[in-house]
A and B are shown apart, each in its own frame.
Chain A
Amino acid sequence: SQELEQSPQSLIVQEGKNLTINCTSSKTLYGLYWYKQKYGEGLIFLMMLQKGGEEKSHEKITAKLDEKKQQSSLHITASQPSHAGIYLCGATIRGGTASKLTFGTGTRLQVTL
C-alpha cells in the first residue's frame, strides 16, 4: 500500500497563479522531503522538513509540515513556466528503516501562459 499520498495527481495553472500540493502520510514521519523532477531526469532537491510545525521557503516555494508530522504542503506563489514538472514528496517513516526514503504518488504540474 502507498504510505504517502499526494494530491492533486495533476494540476494545470495559469502563469501568475498560486497553487498548493499536499502530501499525506499514514504514519508519523522522521523527515519530509520535497523534490522536483523533469520527466526522465534526476531529482532536484527543494526542501527538507523535520520538526512538527516547521515551515521553509526558497524563492517562491514554501513548504510546511504539520504538528503531527503526517502532512505537508508545498505552496508556489505566482507560478511561472519554469515551475512546471513533477513534484514528489519523500519521507523517512518512523518505525521503518531509518535512512530509507520512500516517495509519494507525485503531482504533475503544468503552467500555461
Chain B
Amino acid sequence: GAVVSQHPSRVICKSGTSVKIECRSLDFQATTMFWYRQFPKQSLMLMATSNEGSKATYEQGVEKDKFLINHASLTLSTLTVTSAHPEDSSFYICSARRGWMVDTEAFFGQGTRLTVV
C-alpha cells in the first residue's frame, strides 16, 4: 500500500534555531499534503495544506512566517519551524492523499516529536 515517510522522527533543538521536517510520499504522487500538530492527550489540529507548486494554505491562527511550508515536488513537502521556542515543542505529523478525490484514503507519516530546549 501507499506509504508516507516523515523525517526525522525525533529532534531536539535549541531555542532560536530552525528545524526542518520532511514528508515524502513513497509510491504515489501527492498534489496535496497536510500538516498537523498534536498536543499531549489531544487530537490532531490541522495547521496547513501544502499545495505542490503554489503557496500553502494556513488554518486560522497558524503563523505562516513561523511555520514555513514548501512543496517543491509531487512527493516532498517540508515544514520548517523558524526561530523555535519551547512552546513550539509538539508532535508534528503529515498526511498525503492520492489525487484530489475525497473518497481516497489519507496516509499519515510516522510523526516528528520536536523538543525545543
Q: CA–CA, A88 to B45, complex, Å? A: 12
Q: Contacts A42-B93, A43-B93 known; A99 to B102 CB distance under 8 Å?
A: yes
Q: Which of A59-67, A71-79, A102-110 contacts B (4 or more CB under 8 A)?
A: A102-110
Q: Which of B13-21, B69-77, B80-88, B105-113 contacts A (4 or more CB under 8 A)?
A: B105-113
Q: CA–CA, A88 to B46, complex, Å? A: 14
Q: Which residues of A contact B36 (CB under 8 A)?
A: 103
For the complex, is A97 an interface residue (Cβ under 8 Å from B)? Answer: yes
Report the 4 A-B pairs with minimum CB-CB distance, sorted nearest first: A43-B108, A106-B43, A42-B110, A30-B102
28 examples of A-B residue contacts, CB within 8 angstroms: A31-B102, A31-B103, A33-B105, A33-B106, A35-B108, A40-B91, A40-B111, A42-B109, A42-B111, A43-B44, A45-B105, A45-B108, A48-B103, A48-B105, A88-B44, A90-B106, A92-B102, A97-B57, A99-B32, A99-B97, A100-B46, A100-B49, A101-B46, A103-B36, A103-B43, A104-B43, A105-B43, A106-B43
B-binding residues in A (CB < 8 A): 30-31, 33, 35, 39-43, 45, 48, 50, 88, 90, 92, 97-106, 108
